[in-house]
A and B are shown apart, each in its own frame.
Chain A
Amino acid sequence: MFWDKTTETLKGEKLNALQIRRLKQTIHQSQKVGFYKKRLTDAHVRPEDIRTVGDITRIPFTKKQDLRNGYPFGFFAVPLNKVIRIHTTSGTTGKPTVVGYTKKDLDTWADLIARNMTMVGVTKNDIFQNMVNYGMFTGGLGFHYGAEKIGMTVIPGATGNTKRQIEMIRDFGVTTIHCTPSYAMHLSEVAEDLHASLDSLKTGIFGAEPWSETMRSSLEERLGVTAFDSYGLSELFGPGVAFECPERDGLHIWHDVYLVEIINPKTGEQLGDGERGELVVTPLLKEAMPLLRYRTGDITMKMEDGCLCRRGQKIGRITGRSDDMLVIRGINVFPSQIEHVLLKIPEVGNQFMVYVDKVNHLDEMTVDVEINRDYFSGELADLARIQKKIVKELHDALELRTTVKLVEPGSLPRFEGKANRVVDQRGDEI
């Protein structure tokens, strides 16, 4: 099924013409942003020099750090009174990254989600339970608006209270769910414990964290759904950027809205089809916050063209990151953020270690922290207070619950070269 068949199957010359037209508009829009005006000037590129899609390589990349430096409104290309929504996403340290949307941006975004959901066979007659965070996280409101655009019945379940989520699935005859794959696994286990049937479910949309084919089989069996992978990031609106079709062999990225490059993360050179590298995207329809050659940090590849569903060229499922970003329960965490938080706390020494594990299919983060002798009285109550404080500070900065263990000064490993303070013990599989 198609939401917008002509656009979704656009290829060859027609697609190319549309892309170049929109790319020129985007570059024009970007020149309302001080950062990009200077960027192009410094690179000796005039907007009119970009005549073909290939010319885009003349423009330097945009990195997350650039967005952070522009905090809060440095990347807005429209006055604030045209911005009707702001989302924030975790930055690499301290301050978050701010993303703004005009009315048209929200429409474009909802339209993409509508395309994706229609592509996997979901229609206005479906009942959809959206079990991700609403609010500043784009996953919740993004899918909410898209599903509403299709005319589905939306249950804004958000997160938490798994028992009630199961009750609602049963009582409302929910057919379609969206959540992180780990939460879906947790849901299936709780349902099993409660002997609750999830018979009405047909479609599971899972995203916000990487997941494997093994996980897919397991989720499909336990929940009785067909499981689809969803990809997106807030800087490019949010979820909806790329999505699996019923073939479930790679994700369709919407070429009329996103100009895709795969690069070697070290050299910045473009890679060919089938070669793994970092996904770089130039969104072609963003009004409030245009971006040029945005480095997503996600590792994937362009797949061979020619999907049976007749839509455009796919990208492979995400297999990793080009930086050290961790995805914990769907939330992006940079080790630098953790360091930033810990080193602000005087009771904390200079050494820490972060361990990420899977416990009952849910990610758990444990932080071992050396205490600073100068601030430690030796009393037990004091330890408990320091620990509580660290947990709170981490929660405030990362929006994530962590387990904090305080350890003796000098007991954590020291690194001579590049410190490797993060140990991800989750492996590839569940």
Chain B
Amino acid sequence: MNCWDPRVEEMPQAELRQMQYKLLKSLVYRLYSFSPFYHDRMKEQNVHPDDIHALSDVEKLPFMFKRDLRDNYPDKIFTATKDDLVRYHVSSGTTGKPTVVGYTQNDLDTWTTSLARALTSLGLGRGDVIQVSYGYGLFTGGLGLHYGAERIGATVLPTSVGNTERQIELMQDLGATAIACTPSYLLHIGEVAEKMGVDLHKDTNLRTGILGAEPWTEQMRVRMEEWLGIKAYDIYGTSELSGPMFTECTEQDGFHVWSDIALVEIIDPKTGEQVAPGERGELTMTILQKEALPMIRFRIGDITRVNEEVCACGRTHPRVDRIQGRVDDMLIIRGINVFPSQVEYTLMTIPEVGQHFQIVVDRKGALDDMLVRVELNKESFSDKITDLMLIRQKVEHKLRNVLNVNANVELVEPGSLPRYEGKSKKVVDRRSL
């Protein structure tokens, strides 16, 4: 196994927890003394740094939410002086003010180290050519991966997003061995390559996909790996945590969250209590090493579960399952919780279905109505109505079995649904309009 920092990555779990406890305690003391925001929050919650006697005492601390960042726009929560800030990233909010994240030099180093470990755990290193096709600039994806890839000594191709044909040409000509982008963009690249007559497996050195910034599923991985002849890995992070931070290792069984950087909890979004080990709930993180914008018990809003077992790769840090969806993405259809990822997972098990789909939710009278528009793959697209009927029935049946709710299915021609270069918008909810 190849480790960037074996001493930490393979540290016995008891020692890791001890380290986390120390980091947590000093973080809490620091914020209680220097951050008016956290000071007030801890007072409200009736907790004092002296009350933290063990790692599990993290539960006594107050939560922090995304809205806290927006309410304190742009930098009221920051605990670094302006002179110590070396970077801002800004993520566009869906409503009103954007979220602003500031970084000190140490914050950038922690972020980069986290990714250096992650990329090394995928077997990447010096000699690899990594094409960074995430957007550069205010979005954290581009510069984050760029710095991580540079740190491990790989050759970085900063292609950013867009101009897909040029991206494919450069991938071929400059021998890219890995690409970092959203899973939807890789699908798009795959399709454009096919049109250009480029076989990504035979005609390029591409072997690794580092895919994230939107949830995707295990079935999508199976398809992508088979279709493009690559290994596809999940990468995770949000701008509040610095940016993309954690990836799966070559075991492809959850992304490793470095314990010296973050403390993971899974919370029941309704009660705010920790769920039982292995249960699903809302991912909540305390970033143990962050100077400019500290995060205690940040409720990320992603639904997943955590696995504390030592990984087959030898790394001792906990693994978080791929994200099943957002607390706020969760659709409630006639009282039943539906995650878009469940729909994707189900569709991808059906061979006649292509890679693209769209969920349209509407209200018919008093009832929620869910329509799933599904692209067929080229081979299965047929003129025969009876064939199409059969496929449609099959898709509806499978969806009902998994979701426990009826969905109408509309089959559409390959290539007719919208394609996305960045994050895809797979759900159209017309009920609120």
A: which residues have CB within 8 A of B?
A: 71-73, 80-81, 83-88, 95-96, 98, 100, 103, 124-125, 127, 133-136, 140-141, 144, 148, 151-159, 164, 168, 171-173, 395-396, 399
Contact = CB atoms under 8 A, between A and B. Distances in A.
Interface in B110-157: 126-127, 129, 136-138, 142-143, 146, 150, 153-157
Nearest to A151: B86
B88 A172 contact: yes
A157 B100 CA distance: 13
Interface stretch (B158-166, B224-232, B262-270): B158-166
Contact of A85 (B92, B142, B156, B166): B156
Nearest to A168: B90
B137 A158 contact: yes
B87 A84 contact: no
A296 to B, nearest CB: 23
A174 B166 CA distance: 35
B140 to A, nearest CB: 10
Given A85-B156, A148-B86, A156 B174 contact: no
B86 A98 contact: no
Contact of B82 (A127, A144, A158): A127
B416 interface: no
A148 B73 CA distance: 24
Contact of A81 (B82, B85, B126, B150): B126
A151 B105 contact: yes
A136 B163 CA distance: 12
B152 to A, nearest CB: 9
Contact of B150 (A72, A85, A100, A140): A85
Contact of B142 (A71, A124, A127, A135): A135
B157 A86 contact: yes
Nearest to A392: B165
Nearest to B165: A396
A178 to B, nearest CB: 13
B159 A72 contact: no
A255 to B, nearest CB: 29
A151 B86 CA distance: 6
Nearest to B85: A153
Nearest to A171: B74
Interface size class of chain B, counting residues whose CB lies under 8 Å from the partner chain: 35 or more
A155 B138 CA distance: 7
B305 to A, nearest CB: 34
A154 B88 contact: yes
B173 interface: yes
B173 A71 contact: yes
A155 B101 CA distance: 10
Contact of B170 (A88, A152, A399): A88
A333 B143 CA distance: 27
B83 interface: yes
B166 A152 contact: no
A136 B160 contact: yes
A156 B143 contact: yes
B96 to A, nearest CB: 12
B174 A86 contact: yes
B5 to A, nearest CB: 19
28 contacts: A71-B173, A81-B155, A84-B153, A86-B129, A86-B155, A86-B156, A86-B157, A86-B174, A96-B170, A125-B82, A134-B158, A135-B142, A135-B158, A136-B157, A136-B159, A140-B137, A148-B87, A151-B86, A151-B105, A153-B102, A155-B88, A156-B89, A156-B137, A156-B138, A171-B73, A172-B75, A395-B163, A399-B163
Nearest to A154: B87
Contact of B160 (A80, A95, A134, A395): A134
Interface in B192-227: none
Contact of A152 (B86, B143, B150, B158): B86
B68 to A, nearest CB: 17
A156 B158 contact: no
B158 A87 contact: yes
Given A151-B86, A156-B136, A98 B158 contact: no
Residue of A125, A134, A140, A144 contacting most chain B CB atoms (<10 Å): A134
B280 to A, nearest CB: 35
B102 to A, nearest CB: 8
Nearest 9 pairs of A and B residues by beta carbon: A158-B137, A135-B160, A134-B136, A81-B127, A153-B85, A155-B88, A156-B137, A171-B74, A72-B173
B159 A153 contact: no
A110 to B, nearest CB: 12
Contacts of B138: 155-158
Nearest to B146: A141
B336 to A, nearest CB: 39
A155 B153 CA distance: 25
A225 B92 CA distance: 28
Given A84-B156, A85-B156, A153 B86 contact: yes
Contacts of A396: 163, 165-166
Interface string B29-54: 00000000000000000000000000
A153 B88 contact: yes
A396 B164 CA distance: 8
Nearest to B170: A88
Contacts of B92: 164
Contacts of A73: 174
Contacts of B174: 72-73, 86, 98
A324 B142 CA distance: 34
A129 to B, nearest CB: 9
